[in-house]
Amino acid sequence: MKKSYLKSSLISMAIALAGISNAQAAETIKVGILHSLSGTMAISETTLKDTMLMLIEEQNKKGGLLGKQLEPVVVDPASNWPLFAEKGRELLSQHKVAAIFGNWTSVSRKSVLPVVEELNGLLFYPVQYEGEESSKNVFYTGAAPNQQAIPAVDYLMNDIGVKRWVLAGTDYVYPRTTNKILEAYLKAKGVADKDIMINYTPFGHSDWQSIVSDIKKFGSTGVKTAVVSTINGDANVPFYKELGNQGLSAEDIPVVAFSVGEEELSGIDTKPLVGHLAAWNYFMSVDDEANSNFISEWKAFIKNDKRVTNDPMEAHYIGFNMWVKAVEKAGTTNSDAVQEAIIGVSVPNLTGGYSSMLPNHHVTKPVLIGEIQGNGQFEVVWQTSGLVAGDAWSDYLPGSKDIISDWRAPLSCGNYNVKTAKCSGQNYE
């Protein structure tokens, strides 16, 4: 009886251990998706959620990661900036995600930033932003100002002959800081105060009649004038419509936008926009094999041949593939290990080259300027000859030009002042 009992116990233990082993084998690696699916930013962010679902599905078809399938965890912060922090905490604390891919506006990123730093999470941020930030927990795969705003102004100044400047933006962190940098840059180029007009409007602003009238008056002096637009979200639609209503064409006063891409143009009347410009690091119209494959995969995944691709989608493509490669390199999803492994990682971008993760947690990217066409696409009219390294700290602001970011040991600092030889800020210990 003792032998029989012992044998039975051993069998039971073996079954239990097998159950544990099977449960462990069935574990997934959770990936957080933090994008607004409702509210004023849903027009831009819903597509990024779908992009992440596609990338995760494609990776799972390749066998997943570290022998496990990836499991997307989608939350909706609903264009509510404080809610981003709450949802970010939910993803890291409750769902135990290995990384978060998300945010669009800088105010939403800054809302979730203290959370990912406190919980040592990883955030991959896919949208152009104002710079003036570097966190060991954030990877900035969108453009820094020197990869979008500064080259756009240079193009307008050197190729179009613009001498008067309207800096128009939505009233939050990204436009205000970007315009502060651009104002300093323009003045360094000899532009006078009287030739710079700055205007801010709230999210979702719809009544543009008086503002466009002011722009029209500002540009009626006979001196070439342009609008540099950091207007974000669904406010762009009535803005461009009002330009058309008041007879302002791209030939009269060109607009170069930093937040208008193919997705924002789809489904609206593009006639008032034809000839206006946008500065990005990617356009759907770029003729490249990797881009063609990505577009085909996207349309098959979304089951709609009319859907478009855009720059932040490419940034998620780059960031996700960098994370996958870093996890494989580290052999773990541990945040500290991935942070160390990802620096120097290079992956294909969609414009015909490779983008690399720099020690300042920004990436190398080409800069392209496109002209809006009647079909909602962009014709590339200018681009850099090579890749531009993202700069976390502006060279044109007094408080920033002496600061560098380098998260490699032994410096491991996001804001090292080369003059004082000191590292400061919440990211440094």
Task: Say what the pLDDT of residue 268 is.
Answer: 77
DSSP code string of 280-311: ES--TT---HHHHHHHHHHHHHHT-TT----H
Task: Say what the pLDDT of residue 175 is.
Answer: 94
The one-letter amino acid code at 261 reads G
Closest CA to 279 of 106, 149, 140: 149
Across 254-268, 286-300, 381-395, least confident range: 254-268
Q: What is the pLDDT of residues 362-376, one digit of tens each?
A: 999 999 999 999 999
Task: Say what the pLDDT of residue 266 is.
Answer: 83
Q: What is the pLDDT of residues 63-120, one digit of tens each?
A: 999 999 999 999 999 999 999 999 999 999 999 999 999 999 999 999 999 999 999 9
Instruction: Tell me what the mean pLDDT of segment 7-29 comes to.
Output: 52
Closest CA to 162 of 189, 184, 181, 180: 189
Q: Are 218 and 166 in contact (CB under 8 A)?
A: yes
Measured in whole angstroms, how far is the alpha carbon of residue 52 from the centre of its chain? 13
Confidence of residue 199 (pLDDT cuts 50, 70, 90): very high
Instruction: Tell me what the mean pLDDT of segment 113-138 comes to.
Output: 97
Terminal-residue alpha carbon distance, the chain: 64
pLDDT exceeds 80 at position 10 = no
pLDDT exceeds 50 at position 2 = no
Task: Say what the pLDDT of residue 258 is.
Answer: 93
Q: Are 415 and 424 in contact (CB under 8 A)?
A: yes
User: Which residues, including other chains, have CB under 8 Å from residue 168's CB and lie 6 or more apart?
Assistant: 198, 199, 200, 201, 211, 215, 227, 228, 229, 230, 231, 239
Task: Say what the pLDDT of residue 17 is.
Answer: 45
Percentage of the chain surpassing pLDDT 90?
Answer: 84
Closest CA to 171 of 335, 40, 362: 40
Place of tokens 């881009």: 291
Q: 3-class SS at 60?
A: helix
Place of tokens 């939505």: 170
**Could you give the CA distance from residue 39 to residue 169 in angstroms, rounded to a whole number?**
19
Cis? peptide before 410, omega within 30° of 0: yes
pLDDT exceeds 80 at position 359 = yes
Q: Are β-strands 164-170 and 196-201 bridged in parallel, bridged antiparallel, or unpaired?
A: parallel
Give strand pairing partners of 228: 167, 256
Domain ranges of the chain: 147-280
For the chain, give the longest Cα–Cα distance. 105
For 25, 61, 158, the CA distances from 107, given in Å and listed in that order, are 39, 35, 33
Instruction: Tell me what the mean pLDDT of segment 16-30 comes to.
Output: 57
Confidence of residue 15 (pLDDT cuts 50, 70, 90): very low
Task: Say what the pLDDT of residue 221 is.
Answer: 94
pTM recorded for the entire structure: 0.88
Q: Are 219 and 247 in contact (CB under 8 A)?
A: no
Cα angle, residue 336 at apex, residues 51 and 419 outer, rounded to 5°:
100
Q: Are 375 and 368 in contact (CB under 8 A)?
A: no
Fold of the domain built from segment(s) 147-280? Rossmann fold (3.40.50)
DSSP code string of 351-398: SSSEEEB-TTSBBEE--EEEEE-TTS-EEEEEE-SS-EE--SS-SSST
pLDDT exceeds 90 at position 425 = no
pLDDT exceeds 80 at position 325 = yes
Task: Say what the pLDDT of residue 43 is.
Answer: 85
pLDDT exceeds 80 at position 305 = yes
Closest CA to 162 of 272, 279, 260, 250: 250
Q: What is the pLDDT of residues 38-57, one digit of tens each?
A: 998 998 899 999 999 999 99
Task: Say what the pLDDT of residue 13 is.
Answer: 52
Task: Say what the pLDDT of residue 85 is.
Answer: 98
Q: Are 390 and 140 in contact (CB under 8 A)?
A: yes
Average pLDDT over the chain reads: 92
